[in-house]
Amino acid sequence: MSHSLCKTCSAEWSRERRDFALDEYDGRWVRYFGSSTIFKDCRHYLAFRGILFAGMLAITVASITIEQFTGKGRCWPIYLTHQGALIETVYLGLAFATTAKAFYFNDVEGTADAPERTPWYCRAAWILQGVALPASFLIFVFYWGLVYDGTLFPISPFTHGVNFVLMVLDQAFSNQPMYLIHGLAFMVYTFLCVVWSYVHFVTGLKN
């Protein structure tokens, strides 16, 4: 039992999984990033990911627009909620683009110019996946557990709930592997958030 556990942990933290790349091309990135555990038709999965991206993009744009109309637009980037929304939007956009590209390479053997290494857009999506999913949960818990005081703004359920649901749906329907070592990207993100919070506190930044 302990030997099996050690072997599993060793594999999770192996060098091959630290570079966010599938080193030997055998069509795996096409299957991982371009196929779904639920949708059997790649076109349906592509449409699904497009809907997720469009939904998150609409939430982010609405959030920016509302802040701009209330005269707080310049302060939009200082909040963890908004930083998370931006990361989630970029991730879902890259995930959609990656699935679209994988759709082109779906017939791996019949596509002469299929890349031999994991493309940059796959690696970028993979890195951001490790940040966006836990970050959306963190933001959800922090807001409703620590910030919410009974005053509910119309945009709040979308930036502190619907965004998390979109990330969960993306994870649940995708074939993208998520290894323990990918959590390091989230740890870096949380460290930077703590540093920013400290800077925000000592400098007296306010909106």
SS (H, E, C) the chain: CHHHHHHHHHHHCCHHHCCCCCCCCCCHHHHHHHCECCCCCHHHHHHHHHHHHHHHHHHHHHHHHHHHHCCCHHHHHHCHHHHHHHHHHHHHHHHHHHHHHHHHCCCCCCCCCCCCCCCHHHHHHHHHHHHHHHHHHHHHHHHHHHHCCCCCCCCHHHHHHHHHHHHHHHHHHECCCCCHHHHHHHHHHHHHHHHHHHHHHHHCCCC
The pLDDT value given to residue 35: 84
CB atoms within 10 A of CB 82: 18
**Dihedral sign computed on CA atoms, order 127, 190, 65, 204:** negative
- Mean pLDDT along residues 158-164: 96
CA distance 56 to 167: 9
Position 207 confidence tier, pLDDT thresholds 50, 70, 90:
low
Looking at residue 54, its amino acid is A
Q: Which residue has the higher pLDDT, 105 or 198?
A: 198
Tell me how far CA of residue 102 lies from CA of 22, 79, 107, in angstroms.
14, 35, 9
| Least confident piece of the model among 32-36, 78-82, 126-130, 191-195 | 32-36
The pLDDT value given to residue 178: 77
The pLDDT value given to residue 15: 54
Query: In terms of Cα–Cα distance, which of 160, 166, 154, 153 is closest to 138?
Result: 160
Cβ–Cβ under 8 Å, residues 11 and 101: no
- pTM of the complete model: 0.82
**Dihedral sign computed on CA atoms, order 191, 64, 136, 173:** negative
- The percentage of residues in the chain with a pLDDT greater than 90, rounded to a whole number, is 38
| Least confident piece of the model among 97-101, 132-136, 155-159 | 97-101
